[in-house]
Amino acid sequence: MMRILDFDSLSPEEFLNRDIQAEEDVSAAVDEVIANVRKRGDAALRDYTRRFDGAELQDLWVSAEEFDAAREAVDPYFMETLREAAENIRRFHERQKHNDFLLADRPGVVMGQRWTPIEKVGVCVPRSPEAFPSTILMNAIPAQIAGVLDIVIVTPPRPDGSVSPEALMAAELAEVTEVFKIGGAQAVAALAYGTESVPRVDKIVGPGGVFVATAKRKVFGQVAIDMIAGPSEILVLADGKTNPQWAAADLLSQAEHDPLSSAVLVTDSRELAEAVQAEVEARLEALPRKEIARRSIEDNGKIIVTDSLDKALLAVNRIAPEHLELCVDDPFALLPRIKNAGSVFLGRFTPEALGDYFAGPNHTLPTSGTARFSSPLGMDDFMKRSSFLCYDQAALSACGDRVADFARREGLEGHARSAESRREP
């Protein structure tokens, strides 16, 4: 049962008692996987796929014939859903495009900034129990908009060696270059270092369990990564007018992800708190993933009761949730006061599930309180900034003595002489 707690009795540690990966240390096992993939390449990938996924593979990639079969297998209704979702995601992320700029406001001086896309990106897509089409759309479409030339997906196969046709159709809509039937730490290693079949990429994005998260930490520097994702989270801020059935349903939507997921209700109504507590218990038994959801609710779920919405907002900003629902009469009035949240869902008719699949904003979000300093996945994650500058001889001569003096004050004579070497005679 969800615990009901009073805001004023909670210590700061009780607001922030989340561990990014509260599981056993897998560092040594991941080191072994990475070393094996670097040494043996595709052979190691086939071995791990046989061991962890039960699939015997000859080819690691999804063939053109498999894509053809997927087009026939996916029903027209879901294909239209995928197209609408892809269009919503594309429309939202296209607004994130940056403009280059150029400054030429001083004689003889030109400088500016330009954005260029990362060339190759790998997307990790978990299978639980199927590869997630939504993860493919949310990760690959911003990369495609940014101008990434090669987008590679890695996802564990089914035991028969296939990948769900829905996932393949999502990949096709997102203009993915290649799909490989590998997962786990071994897939991260393959993307970071390359094998006979899997191309080495410049950045790895996408979610995964503790092995994937640990592997991403270890290859960072060899490649870029998006973030280290922890268990999923939802915080519902609700006033006393909120339907407790709706609030309970939304809390359970995240609790069913993983036993480590956290579902939190913050409210200024004791009556609502007790009603939601009862609704969660009643609805748990009807969930197909009830055992997972129950562990999440009992271990990590809580209801925080405050005596005002001001304190409720304080609780929200302390927790810095991945997903935040504002179930109040005027959510837009509260929005400017939200400082720490991955994605905010405004009003009583905006369930978090909209963001997971369809609405458009990205569902790859900062977890474990990292919304205090990080952001949702977006087009920026697939681009780089470069600055440029050009001085003519007169412009350099005008400031060269200052540059040389600055360099000498830092003890760098070579820098100073470089600035002085081009003085006008």
Report d(CA 365, CA 94) in Å as an integer: 18
* Catalytic hit among 166, 323, 352, 363: 323
By CB neighbour count within 10 A (0-12 exposed, 13-18 middle, 19+ buried), where does 84 fall? exposed
- Determine whether 323 is an active site residue: yes
- Determine whether 257 is an active site residue: no
* Catalytic hit among 322, 325, 352, 363: 322
Q: Which residues contact 416 (CB under 8 A, 6 or more apart)?
A: 403, 404, 405, 407, 408
Q: Which residues contact 12 (CB under 8 A, 6 or more apart)?
A: 318
Report d(CA 70, CA 85) in Å as an integer: 18
Query: Could you tell me if 188 and 223 are in contact, meaning their C-beta atoms sit under 8 angstroms apart?
Result: no
Amino acid letter for position 41: G
Provide the annotated active-site residues: 322-323
